Chain A
Amino acid sequence: NAGVTQTPKFRVLKTGQSMTLLCAQDMNHEYMYWYRQDPGMGLRLIHYSVGEGTTAKGEVPDGYNVSRLKKQNFLLGLESAAPSQTSVYFCASSYSSGSNQPQHFGDGTRLSIL
């Protein structure tokens, strides 16, 4: 079982460049999430989705956009990367009713913005 797969695993960008982080899950989960993890700050929710075609803002949505065109995929976009977006990004999914179900995480994408 692949579970939650994130691509790429590592990326270095220059300020102002754009990119898309891909997340795919094969567990037929309804809920999907994007988090960023910075030292000493735990996991902060960027955006989430409660089903195909739906997205919503989390704690720190500024500078990011997302799309959920297919149930199994959740994409995170950076339109104009900034050094403050240097972080480790985790995608997660859960079966239903987000906060009452365990979340399954991908391996993360380590992103550096120069």
Chain B
Amino acid sequence: GQQVMQIPQYQHVQEGEDFTTYCNSSTTLSNIQWYKQRPGGHPVFLIQLVKSGEVKKQKRLTFQFGEAKKNSSLHITATQTTDVGTYFCASGTGGFKTIFGAGTRLFVKA
């Protein structure tokens, strides 16, 4: 079945450094969603990308959808301790189900 591979699995950064997580698929995705899960919390929807080559920004977060709609990235500029958590990408299959990547866990050292 369809899978989305997410890398890296973990990332340790110093506060103020940038962070990027990548999501890749072998098949074309109808859309890509990004979620954030704080430690001990539940996933919270951040954004959805639908169009080829789409780029969206939310303050220090930049989300990109690849031209071939097979990959996506989330970039955080100048990380803060509040950015700590696990970031998941999730792909729409065009049907009823959403497939989640394994997530990238971000650690930020003050």
Chain A interface (Cβ < 8 Å from any Cβ of B): 31, 35, 40-45, 48, 50, 56, 58-59, 90, 92, 97-100, 102-108
Chain B interface (Cβ < 8 Å from any Cβ of A): 1, 6, 9, 30-31, 33, 41-45, 48, 88, 91-103
Instruction: Please name the 9 residue pairs, one residue from A and one from B, whose CB atoms are nearest each other, closest first.
Output: A99-B92, A102-B45, A42-B102, A98-B96, A105-B42, A43-B100, A42-B100, A99-B98, A105-B43
Least CB distance from A61 to B in Å reads 12
Indicate which residue in B6, B31, B96, B103 contacts A31 across the interface (CB closer than 8 Å): B96
Residue of A with least CB distance to B103? A42
Given contacts A42-B103, A43-B100, contact A103 B45 (CB under 8 A): yes
The answer to whether B102 touches A41 (Cβ under 8 A) is: yes
Given contacts A41-B102, A42-B88, contact A58 B43 (CB under 8 A): no
Indicate which residue in B9, B30, B42, B44 contacts A99 across the interface (CB closer than 8 Å): B30
5 contacts between A and B (CB under 8 A): A42-B100, A43-B43, A43-B100, A99-B92, A108-B42
